[in-house]
Structure formats: C-alpha cells, structure tokens
Chains A and B, each alone.
Chain A
C-alpha cells in the first residue's frame, strides 16, 4: 500500500502545517503592538471599560493558557467569537468564503484558459507576433499593480463605457472586472512557465526523434510536448493559489467584493485576534488541501510520479 502510505504522509503533513500555522499566528498576533479592547472602546474609554472587554474575551489570562484554550476549542471546531462584531468567527468566515472562492476560481479559469495555450503557442512560434503578445502580457502582469489595473478597468468599463458595474455584488456581471483584474498577475507566471517548458521540451532529443520518425507537427506537439509541459504548469497553478489569496485582498478592497481577504485585513487592523486566527486557519486548511489535490493531479498526469513506480 505505498500509495496509501503516501496519502497518510500527506494528510499528517497538512495537519502539522496547520497546527504550526495556528500556534505561530497566535504568538505573532500577540507580539505586535495594539490592544483589541482599546481599539474597540476608543480613545475616550475608561480603564474599567477596557478591563471589562479584556475579561469578556479572555485576553486578561496568561498567554499559554489562552493558547491551550484556543487549541482545545479548535479541536471542537469552535473558532471563537469575533471581538469586533461579537458574532461567531466560523459563520462570519463561511459567509464570505464563497465570494472569495468564486472570485479566485473565476480568475484562475481565465488565467489558465488563456495562459496555458498562449504560452505554448508562443514557444512554438517563437519570436512571432503571438510570442510578442505573450511576452508583453507576462511583463505587464508582473509589473502592473493590481489596484491600479482595477481602477483603470473601472474607469474604462464602468465610468466611461458604463457596461459593467464598478463594484459590489448582486449580479454575476459584478464578477467580471475583479476576476479579470485578479487573473492578470496569475496569468503571467502561467504563460511564462508554459512557454519556457514548451521551449525546453521542443529542444529535447525525443522530440527530434519524433520528428525524425516522420510524425506531423501537430502530433509531436500534442503527444510529446504538451503533456510534458503540464507538470510544471500544474505546479505553478498550485503555487498561484497563494498568490490569488494575496491578490484577493487588494482586489476585494478595490471592487468592494465582500470576501475573506477584506475580512482578514479589517480584523488585523482591529486586532480582532479570534477573527484573524479563525480566518487564517480556514484559509490555511484550504490551501494545504488544494496543494494536496495538486499533488494528486501529478499522479494522474504523469505516471512517473506515481509512488511505487508505474511500469510499462
């Protein structure tokens, strides 16, 4: 059961990662200056009011006690109550999560459907017009700040043309601008990897051999080249998920998209410890699981990575 072992290793890995993240985050949050009670009660609050708030959220207890309580609660899937809003963290995060997932998924879909073929075509037709466009997209995608791109798209499509809403949610049209904005920085590395990988494989002996065998260009490309390109591309796509979550914070702010990214940032500025911890816990769990799935797709795409060794 080698594969089974692999699975177990990975699941234990996820568990260890997430626990480390929680503990690290817990200590990190409390080591940065800022007092949630004071931020909640305001400048003019009296020390008694501040003390009341600290007591209510257990902030007056010693740190290790707080950490242990937190872990015990997390095991019972109780992520606590938000200090800022006084509502359960789980329901706050879960009510926003679908928005972030929709946005990330739509961006990823755009990035992959355009980026993957574009990179491959750019490699095959190196130095052509398509290659030029691909390279330009890579440069722009890496260089353009997301918030600027977002604002420009708003100005053009919402203020000038008035065809798409500038921000908020409601109809699915609301997702178009944020998804496009978020997709560009993600698309750039996908194009780059796809182009680079294709180029590299095109220069390899087995491709030359395939061509020498008399196979048509199309056959060589689809059978020998593209399949080999997929591995690095899938890796990059997996890594981009982290990028997406980071980009989502800015995109969600610019487009008034009510997602988890914005929630976390607000929570950090309010030093809303339970909210930050809860949201990051859920995101970390999600990220680790997605990477796990990415690993599994390798197995599907490339028999060589199958643990236990595929033989043919």
Chain B
C-alpha cells in the first residue's frame, strides 16, 4: 500500500485507473472538472460504441439480406426456367420452412414420445406399415403379411430393392436389428411396452420376417406402424452409437435425410435423391422451433415460414378468409372427455353420471368455445377406429338431468371440484369453465381448479386410496386407431391408476371380459363386434362426460399443394409442391 499522488493504492491496480487520470491531469494541467467529465464521458462512449456497433451490424446485414433475397428470387426464376425445360421439378433447390411449437428431445426413432417430433423423424425413417387417413393400416416398407390362426405368429413380407440412405440394402436383417434394438434394455425406449409382447424376431429369408409373440396381440400390425418401430440401418446405427439421438445421419429409408439440428432453433433435413417412392419436390425441409402460436402465424403471414402447425384457434377463422393462406382442420385422434371418479360419493350412482352427460350442451361448446374446431363425440370410439358404432350423443336436456339427480337423491345438487390443465388442449380451461356453468345450471356447486401440466399428470394418476379427483378434463390420443388403445387402459378394471389409466376407477366385469377377448381375437369382424358391445356398455355406464374430438390444424401458403394431413396430428409433405 502506498500513498502516491494523494491516492491510496492497494497494489491490486484498481486505483491505477484514478492514478492514470491524476497523471493525465498533472501532465496536461487540466482541472478536476475536466477529469470528472472525461470519466463520465468514457463510460458513455463505451456504451454508445457497443450500441452503435450492434445497430450498424444489424443495418448492414439487413442490406445484405435484401440483396440476398433479390438474388434468391432470380435464382428461383432461373431454376424454374430450367426445370420447365427439363421437366424435372424435383431438381429445384427449394426449401420448405415449417413452424413447429417444440424443440426435439431426441431424434432417435426408438426414443420418440411426442407427435411433433415423431412427425419429423418419419421423414427420415419409415416403418413396415403406415396408418392412413381413414384409419386403415397400409403396408409401407412391408408388402403384405399373414397372421397364424392362434394370433401368435406374424409373417411379414418386405418390399424389395430398397436401400437405406447410407447405401446398405433394406432387408429382413435390418428389420430384426430394429426390433432387437427396441427390446434392448440398454436403449432408451419410453414406448417399449408396446413391443414387449414380442418373443423373438426371425429372418425367414432375405425379404421375409417372422414375429413370434408371447401371447395373441390383435393390434400388433398397428404397433408396427409407429415411428418408434421405424426400420433403421444396422450399419448407420452401429456407427453412430449414442449420436443417433442428436445426429441421426442416413439411418432410414425415408424421403429426407438428416442434415443438422441447431438446438432450440431448427432441424434441417435434405432430400434423399434415391428415395424409392418418388423423389420429393422440396430439396430441404427446415423445421423452425417457434414456441408461440401467435408468432408462428405472424411468420407465416410475413413469408418467413411456409407451413405452420396449430395456429392459435382464435385466428383460424381469420386465416381461412385470407387468400394467401390455406387452412386444414381435420378431426384428430384426440378424444376429449371429463373423467368421472366413479367411486366418489354421488358419482357411484350411474344416474348421476348420466345426468352430467345430459346437462351439457356439447354442440354449443364446440361452436362457441372451440370456434368449431371439434366434433361432438357420438360414441366411446372415434369414427375411424375399428368397432365404432354410433350411440349418441347424449342430447342436451337439463330437465332430464335434474330429474335424474332427483331420482338419485340429490334434488338440491352437491358440491364438486372440476380440475383442468391450462394450455395443454385447445381452450381447455375455457371448456372447463363452460362445463362448470352448465353443471351449475342443473343445481351442482362446482369449483374449478387449474394446474400446470406436470402437477396435473401427478394428480390424475394418483391411486384410488389417495386420489382427490372428482371430475377432470382430459384428452386421449393413442398413436394407433386400434380400439384396444382407446379402451383397455382406460376402462379395464386391472388398469386402475397407477397401473394403467383407468382413473375413473370404473369396473364392469362384462367390459373386462370383452376387452380381454378383443386383444386376442384375430378375426376382424368378430373383433369389431366385441368392441361395439364394449362401447355400448361403457356408454351406458357413463364413466365419462363424453365431449368431442379435437381438430388438428395446419396452415400453409396458398400455393403449396398436395400436403397430406393425418388424423393422428401428423402431416406429410414428401409429395407436396408449389403450384406455379
């Protein structure tokens, strides 16, 4: 420590700043005033420099961007000229920019849990079968299949002359490799439960595979259509190791190949020039992560995106009226309902549960709360599922509801709590509020509680002896249209939470028997009948307030054509093109 020029110095150098000024002062004979001003100015100048450099940088790149965009237009023009002369539309270098709401967790097909990311993976990796728009299961990499009469052996014949993106041939070995990997406990497969029924996979010959099951499992073929069961190249996967989750290069047979994933920002796929099912039109698919639905819409309107999924429902009607945008709203696989805890107080009485169904005007909710983006449920199963039979809907009849409540011994209603997530489904909270109002009109005292999603999941999955749930809003959307996935986990009495998802604690021995049989029977007609009967029983027992099927909405620029939208909240743009 020393006293120099009247400043205490501690050797750490901080006072050197002041010392420096003192020296400047003494050497230049300037006043203390100037010294103070110069310090203030110094700080201001530094800040100004930073700000101005940011702005200048931004300004110049803006200029550059405009230049670039004029260049692209020219390039697009010239390429469209060449294409018209050579008639190879697919040779164009055009990318399709798609706005999605969430970033990927993993790009490993086996690790898929969300529809949006599965949708992206499906462009790279194809499964043996695919579920078509009408809910039917179509062969994709498979050619055909046979099932043994006991329902335990599936023989699948494969398409020939298909190559993976890495050049290796697609064959029975690859199929076996894929399923062995799905069943390998060291690989992270959240959806493994769908495949644990497999005893083993055998390669009969190069293009024939035999699946041997532990027990008959009728929905097996639809499970083979899931993205998790996308067939991967043994070579590519072995070489990638853990990197398959982040950089799944050339792993599949699909129309697009992986290019890059900038976390939180975008996932880019490039065209597979050797795709077996017709070269795609767009050279690149760019999936931009835009979490806010309003921003996605704005980016579509601004021309920053070409296609977006799930614009805000409130904007759908406005978007429909624009001539530069096309909107697709299709009934999805998502069945929305109010779950009723059938073992809680008044709800033990089926008349009370039916009364709730009569008390609610589902049509009005769809029309006024959902802006028409739903379709009233008229059965337990959606129309595209096997075993669908039209049973309803329960008409809106508050008088009958009151009568039933009176009969059950609740002429003055009772107190009940309705819980709902918020922001998980289209207008979930608003729908719950509308329902509460309808229930109040028939004399119930309804309290609404909202939770964030993780808390909600824990709440509705509580076991019977701990549950506080009375009424809850939920959507159920299995990846397969098979009735087993709509009914078994929710209505079988062995599936009380937390084992399954029967958090209505609904038990009906006949329903149990039918659901047990339905999963074993091979014959389609017989199965269909079984599920029709089960549906009728469940509908009459009313463990739910059956509400509506939620729509899946995508919007894209008007000159984009041949976009395919699947009911299970996915879309396909492999065949999409721009109309000239």
Contacts and interface: CB of A to CB of B under 8 A. Distances in A.
B92 interface: no
B171 to A, nearest CB: 30
A51 to B, nearest CB: 11
Contact of A38 (B288, B294, B299, B461): B461
A169 B265 contact: yes
A266 B36 CA distance: 48
A202 B190 CA distance: 67
A74 to B, nearest CB: 22
Contact of B302 (A32, A34, A166, A219): A166
Given A256-B292, A311-B8, A44 B263 contact: no
A115 B50 CA distance: 15
Contact of B48 (A38, A45, A86, A113): A113
B10 A308 contact: yes
Given A33-B459, A163-B62, A253 B291 contact: yes
A230 B40 CA distance: 8
Given A38-B457, A38-B461, A167-B304, A222 B51 contact: no
B106 A85 contact: yes
A101 B571 CA distance: 36
A270 B6 CA distance: 59
A258 B14 contact: no
B1 interface: yes
A172 B57 contact: yes
A171 B65 contact: yes
Contacts of B111: 86
Contacts of A33: 454-455, 458-459
Contacts of B190: 40-42, 45, 49, 53
Interface in B258-306: 262-266, 288-292, 294-295, 298-299, 301-304
A234 B498 CA distance: 54
A206 to B, nearest CB: 13
B1 to A, nearest CB: 7
A11 interface: no
Given A151-B295, A256-B295, A227 B54 contact: no
Contact of B193 (A45, A112, A173): A45
B298 A155 contact: yes
B298 A158 contact: yes
Contacts of A223: 33, 36-37
A311 B192 CA distance: 74
A259 B264 contact: yes
B103 A266 contact: yes
Interface size class of A (residues with CB under 8 A): 35 or more
A166 B300 CA distance: 9
A166 B304 contact: yes
A154 interface: yes
Contacts of B104: 85
A133 interface: no
Given A38-B457, A219-B33, A311-B6, A263 B264 contact: yes
Name A's interface SS: helix
Interface string B111-127: 10100000000000000
Interface in A230-269: 230, 253-256, 258-259, 262-263, 266, 269
Interface stretch (A1-9, A14-22, A282-290): A1-9
Contact of B263 (A96, A112, A253): A96
A159 B302 contact: yes
Given A42-B190, A254-B295, A92 B501 contact: no
Interface in A57-71: none
A203 interface: no
A266 B187 CA distance: 24
A97 B122 CA distance: 31
A106 B489 CA distance: 52
A42 B191 contact: yes
A162 to B, nearest CB: 6
Contacts of A179: 54
B458 A38 contact: yes
Interface string B412-453: 000000000000000000000000000000000000000011
B575 interface: no
Contact of B12 (A7, A38, A176): A7
B298 A159 contact: yes
A44 B106 CA distance: 19
B457 A256 contact: no
A204 interface: no
Nearest to A258: B264
Contacts of B304: 158, 165-168
A176 B47 CA distance: 17
Most buried by B among A84, A163, A171, A303: A171
Interface in B490-542: 498-499, 501
Interface string B370-404: 00000000000000000000000000000000000
A262 B452 CA distance: 16
B253 to A, nearest CB: 25
Contacts of A173: 58, 61-62, 65
B64 interface: yes
Interface in B57-73: 57-58, 61-62, 64-65
Most buried by A among B62, B298, B452: B298
B113 A40 contact: yes
A96 B264 contact: yes
Interface in B4-22: 6-8, 10-12, 14-15, 17-18
Contacts of A44: 191, 193, 478, 485, 489, 501
Interface of A: 1-4, 7, 32-35, 38-49, 52-53, 56, 84-87, 92, 95-96, 99, 105-106, 109-110, 112-113, 116-117, 147, 150-151, 154-155, 158-159, 162-169, 171-173, 175-176, 179, 219, 222-223, 226-227, 230, 253-256, 258-259, 262-263, 266, 269-271, 296, 299-301, 303, 306, 308-312
14 contacts: A32-B454, A33-B454, A35-B457, A42-B191, A44-B489, A53-B190, A113-B51, A168-B290, A222-B36, A222-B40, A227-B39, A256-B289, A256-B295, A309-B8
The 9 closest A-B pairs by CB, nearest first: A34-B454, A258-B264, A256-B290, A109-B51, A158-B302, A3-B10, A258-B265, A33-B458, A41-B190
Given A43-B476, A167-B295, A168-B290, 10 more contacts: A1-B11, A3-B12, A44-B191, A49-B193, A87-B245, A105-B50, A155-B298, A167-B298, A227-B36, A301-B43
